[in-house]
Structures are given as structure tokens and as C-alpha cells.
Chains A and B, each alone.
Chain A
Amino acid sequence: MGTYADDIAFVKKTLAGDREAFDQLVRIHSQRVFQIIYRFFKDKLMVEDIAQEVFLKAYTSLNTYSQEAAFGSWLASITVRTCYGQLKKEKQLRDNPKSSFSYEDAALLDNFCFDHYAPGYSSPEKTVMLRDFMDKVMHRLSPKEAMVLLLTEVEGKTVREVAQLMGLSRINVKVSNFRARKHALQIIRTLSQQGYVKKRNGYE
């Protein structure tokens, strides 16, 4: 990761017309941008498309970067808002998620509650299963709820930081976070029960 001084130097060179300076900024910050996008979108091609959109927006609006905050923070804000826009678009296209929950999902959840601390639990396979399961849950939340929940719980952002990133008021973020947690628990509870009902009907 470059320093603040390095970033400012590259920004000034880019504004003076040096495109290779912007390439340097992309190389320094691309992994961080990818990581943020990957929280919301699993598909690699989609992550790259959105990342290109983010850097293109940064390039075309570089003259609006005030240099008061770190370049990485400014870029993170563009990334979050671009992801939010994409989530809203997807929500419009996909109003009734077809993915359903199975007994295996319910069992995975139960096992997590009890065994997540056990050595070997955090294997790559388990992480993929958990991610698949939680993606189904997140798709059932509103885009705002999903964003706020992931930014606070996974990215570890404060309410103030989330408000700045998403362009919302702090009250809005607090209320959205509360609702998101409640909604996510409700979904998990319902789907877990569905999984057990399937087991009772299917396996007995």
C-alpha cells in the first residue's frame, strides 16, 4: 500500500496528464477495492467489472478529490456507492430469490453455533459453505440492510464511517443496522425451521 504522500504525488501527475501515474494508483489500491466488492459479489467477473467502473469514475472525477482525506478512503467511498447501485439494480431484477434452504443448511448453521471454535472448523470448504448459506440470507435483505450489515459487522466500520461511505445520516445507519440484524435473524430462523421440516418429511 502506498503512503499518503505517494498517492498525492500520483494524483497530481495524473491531473497533469500522466496516465501511467494513474496506473500506479490502480495497482496500489486495486486489491483493497476488490476486497470491498467481494464482500457483496462472489462472481469474479462481476467483481472485475465493478472494479473497472470504480476506477473509471475515480479517473473522470479525480479533479474533485480534495486531498484532505486519504486517497484510499475517497476510493472506498466510490466503491461502496457503486456496489450499492449494483445491489439495487439486481434487487429490481430479482424480487423473489429462488434459492431455497435445505436440511444441510440448517445443520451447517447448528454446527457453526457449537463448533466454530474447534480446530479445523475454518477450513476453506467450510468457509465456502458458510458463504453460500449467508449469501442466500443476504439476498433476502434490502440492498441498504445488506450493505450496512456487512460494512459494520465484516468491515468493522463505525456508524460514522458507514454514514460517510454511503452518503447517509448516522441515524439512518443506526436504524438500518438494527433492522438488518433483526431481519437477518428472522430469515435465518425461518429457513432453519424449513430445513428441519424438510428433514422430518424427507428422511423419516
Chain B
Amino acid sequence: MNNDCRFIKKQLNTHMRGTVSDPGRRNAVREHIRSCASCREFALEKNLSLLLKKSFNEDAPAPSEKFFKGLHQKIREASITGEQSMFAELFARAGLRLVPAMTVLVLFLSGSLAYFYKDAAGADSNSTIEDIIFFAEDNALSNDLVLAGVFFEEVRCGEK
């Protein structure tokens, strides 16, 4: 950077504030910046914020009546869809609450099943897991009950 550039860069700040009234001086600064890449870069950096503010400062157009009508329509559609999905949501919530209750019921029934089978086979017989599965298949019981029964049997065997 030479002395001219240092001088120009100092002048540029004054120039940008609009306080240089002498047209001769303004032109000299302008011509130097056009020819000097370093000072041009400096001027651009200084001006970027201002350039952005001036370029994007325009007022937005006002919303039209078409905008409001279109929005009403979309909200009406969203409300109808919302009512339909509300029932689905209620059902899902009820379903979720039923899951723990169903789990307890299944465990109770399968525990009873394991106990009943053991009694039916004889007090001394060891109800094996295989027997539970065969019993369940013969009586067309659901997989959940079978698994619960197996679980209970494993626990019962562990207690022996």
C-alpha cells in the first residue's frame, strides 16, 4: 500500500459520510478507487452493510383480500381435518391406556393357565414349557398368552 492509498482510505471515510463538498476531490477519490484494486476492496467492505440496507429496505406490498380469503379457506380445511384426526387421537390415547391393563390381564390369565395345567396334569408332574405350547396350540390360544405362560413357567422353575 502506497501513500496515495493511505490517503485515499482516510478520505474515503469522509467521502462516505458525504462531507466532501469539493467536486474535484470527490472525483480524484472516485478515479483512484476505480483503478486501485486494494482501495476498491476497502471501499466495498465499508459499503457492504449500507448496500444491503439500501437494497432490501423497500416496504413490502400490503396483503390483498385474496390473501385473507385464501387463508380462511386453508384454515377451514385444517379445522375439518383437525376434527377428524381428533377422534383418531382420542382413540389412540384410550388405546394407550388400555395397554398396561391388557398386559396385567394377559399375565394373570397365563399364570392361571400355567397353574391350571399343572393341577390338571397332576400335582407331581413338572409342567414343561413344551407342554404349555402344545396345550395352547390344542386350545387355539393366542401367541401373547403362550409367551406369558412360558414366562410364568420359567419364573416358577427358577423358584424351585
Question: Interface on A for B, CB 8 Å cutoff?
Answer: 19, 22-23, 26-27, 30-31, 34-35, 37-39, 44, 47-48, 51-52, 55-56, 59-60, 109-110, 112-114, 116-118, 122, 127-128, 130-131, 133-134, 149-150, 153-154, 181, 184-185, 188-189, 192
Q: B18 in the interface, Cβ–Cβ < 8 Å? A: yes
User: A114 near B54 (CB under 8 angstroms)?
Assistant: no
User: A51 near B44 (CB under 8 angstroms)?
Assistant: no
A36 to chain B minimum Cβ distance, whole angstroms, is: 8
User: B74 near A116 (CB under 8 angstroms)?
Assistant: no
User: A185 near B70 (CB under 8 angstroms)?
Assistant: no
B32-55 vs A, CB cutoff 8 Å, 1 = contact: the mask equals 011000001101110111111111
Q: B59 in the interface, Cβ–Cβ < 8 Å? A: yes
Nearest-neighbor residue (CB-CB) of B51 within chain A: A112
Nearest-neighbor residue (CB-CB) of A55 within chain B: B71
Q: B63 in the interface, Cβ–Cβ < 8 Å? A: yes
User: A51 near B67 (CB under 8 angstroms)?
Assistant: yes
User: B52 near A19 (CB under 8 angstroms)?
Assistant: no
Expressed in whole angstroms, the Cα–Cα distance for A184 and B48 within the complex equals 9
A147 to chain B minimum Cβ distance, whole angstroms, is: 12
User: A35 near B60 (CB under 8 angstroms)?
Assistant: yes
Contacts of B48 in A (CB 8 A): 153, 181, 184-185, 188
User: A149 near B52 (CB under 8 angstroms)?
Assistant: yes
Q: B93 in the interface, Cβ–Cβ < 8 Å? A: no
Tally of B interface residues using CB under 8 Å: 43
Pick from B75-83, B111-119, B125-133, B138-146 the stretch touching chain A: B75-83
B30 to chain A minimum Cβ distance, whole angstroms, is: 5
Partner of B79 from A19, A37, A51, A192 at Cβ < 8 Å: A19
Residue pairs across A and B with CB atoms within 8 Å: the count is: 115
Q: A52-B71, A116-B50, A154-B57 are in contact. List 18 more A-B contacts (CB 8 A).
A: A23-B68, A34-B61, A34-B62, A35-B59, A37-B60, A55-B75, A113-B16, A113-B33, A114-B29, A117-B16, A127-B55, A134-B52, A134-B56, A153-B49, A153-B52, A154-B53, A154-B56, A185-B44
User: A52 near B74 (CB under 8 angstroms)?
Assistant: yes
Partner of A56 from B40, B62, B67, B75 at Cβ < 8 Å: B75
Contacts of A19 in B (CB 8 A): 75, 79
A136 to chain B minimum Cβ distance, whole angstroms, is: 11
Contacts of B47 in A (CB 8 A): 112-113, 116
Partner of A114 from B30, B61, B66, B74 at Cβ < 8 Å: B30
Expressed in whole angstroms, the Cα–Cα distance for A47 and B63 within the complex equals 9
Contacts of A153 in B (CB 8 A): 48-49, 52-53
Partner of A60 from B29, B54, B64, B82 at Cβ < 8 Å: B82
Expressed in whole angstroms, the Cα–Cα distance for A60 and B26 within the complex equals 58
User: A48 near B56 (CB under 8 angstroms)?
Assistant: no
The answer to whether residues A30 and B74 also contact, given A19-B79, A113-B44, A131-B56 and a CB cut-off of 8 A, is no
Q: B10 in the interface, Cβ–Cβ < 8 Å? A: no
User: B58 near A131 (CB under 8 angstroms)?
Assistant: yes
User: A59 near B75 (CB under 8 angstroms)?
Assistant: yes
B140-155 vs A, CB cutoff 8 Å, 1 = contact: the mask equals 0000000000000000
Question: Which of A60, A113, A184 has most B Cβ within 10 Å?
Answer: A113
